Amino acid sequence: MSQMLKKIDEMNYFELLAWLGIGSSHPGGMPYTRQYLPELELSSNHYVLDAGCGTGATTCYLAKQVGCKVLGIDISEEMIAKAQKRAEREGLGELVEFKACDVTHLPLPSSEFDLVLAESLTVFLDKPRVYKEFYRVLKPGGRLADVEMALVQDLTPEVREEMEQCFGPRTQPLSFEGWVGVLQKAGFIYIGTLLPQYLRPGSNQIVQELRNDWVFIKELVSKIREPGLMARLKSNAEFNQRNQAYFGYGVICGRKPEEFGLFHHLRRVLRG
């Protein structure tokens, strides 16, 4: 019998994901990650931060594919414990490391990473604050790649309310231009959106992702019959299906300037 502290309908979206141990809950899921990662042209000497790594599916995939070191961080201790288990099972102890911490106050030195990767994280948080931290921990010339949901048309008040019920009251997707604007304000340059997509049915199918993720499949079998689980998953999937015309997603990319000279400092100050 699985351990469950809260009833399914009392869990918020993150608690549900952590309890299920879902590996890829970002738009496009693992297939999208496999599609965009090669475009980032990473090599084994890069050091990557996977921010809001969840159970570490992308962290481990990246380390395996590229052979680079990756630090996965997540605010949820439960997610981090599962991510560590995944890395152990995949024999990636040398390359990956995990840490439970808050992305808005990273206990990490400045100018440390070649790439900060985030998948479905910033949409739920205070964006300027998160990007300020990402900027700080990147090396000069380092890159940010953030996979987020984007609005392709304004939400009606009803759809917004339903979205907040499914994903939490702080969920706030921006338009693609809106995402670019926040990155600009944070001081990033060479900003753009890689592989923009429209939301399609099945682009974020929690059940589908769970079926394809062998690491936690055994634990899942014991949970699948918990009262209310299938109804909750179905209602999230149906929200996406009914409202797909409002949403797209893509990899919002930017670069920290090579030299943090007086010119860039003045530009940031003038932008506020």
Ligand X SMILES: C[S@@+](CC[C@H](N)C(=O)[O-])C[C@H]1O[C@@H](n2cnc3c(N)ncnc32)[C@H](O)[C@@H]1O
Chain residues binding ligand X by CB under 6 A are: 14, 17, 24-26, 52-54, 74-76, 79, 102-104, 119-121, 124-125
Q: Which is nearer to ligand X, 193 or 257 (CB)?
A: 193
What's the min distance (Å) between Cβ of 114 and ligand X?
19
Angle made by CA atoms 136, 143, 167, in degrees to the nearest 5? 80
Tell me how far, at minimum, the Cβ of 24 lies from ligand X, in Å. 5
The Cα–Cα gap between 78 and 262 comes to 43
**253 with 144: CB under 8 angstroms?**
yes
**Which DSSP category does 171 fall into?**
-
Closer residue to ligand X, CB minimum distance, 66 or 73: 73
Q: Which is nearer to ligand X, 59 or 193 (CB)?
A: 59
Q: Any idea which residue has 């149906």 for tokens? A: 238
**What minimum distance in Å lies between the beta carbon of 257 and ligand X?**
25
Asked whether the CA dihedral 211, 213, 218, 219 is positive or negative, the reply is negative
Instruction: Locate 55 and state its tokens.
Output: 């159970």
Cα of first residue to Cα of last residue in the chain, in angstroms, is: 53
| Nearest CB to ligand X, comparing residues 58 and 193 | 58
CB of residue 159 vs ligand X: minimum separation in angstroms?
A: 19
What torsion, rounded to 10 degrees, do the Cα atoms 13, 16, 20, 26 define? 0
**What tokens appear for 106 in the block?**
């990273």
Nearer to ligand X, 124 or 176 (CB): 124
Give the residue with the Cβ less far from ligand X, 61 or 246: 61
The distance of closest approach from Cβ of residue 146 to ligand X in the complex, given in angstroms and rounded to an integer, is 10
CB of 100 to ligand X, least distance (A): 8
Q: Which is nearer to ligand X, 114 or 146 (CB)?
A: 146
CB of 59 to ligand X, least distance (A): 9
> Whats the size of the chain, residue-wise?
272
Tell me how crowded residue 85 is: count the other CB atoms within 10 A of its CB. 17
Q: How far apart are CA 4 and CA 86, in angstroms?
A: 21
- Quickly list DSSP for 38-88: GGG---TT-EEEEET-TTSHHHHHHHHHH--EEEEEES-HHHHHHHHHHHH
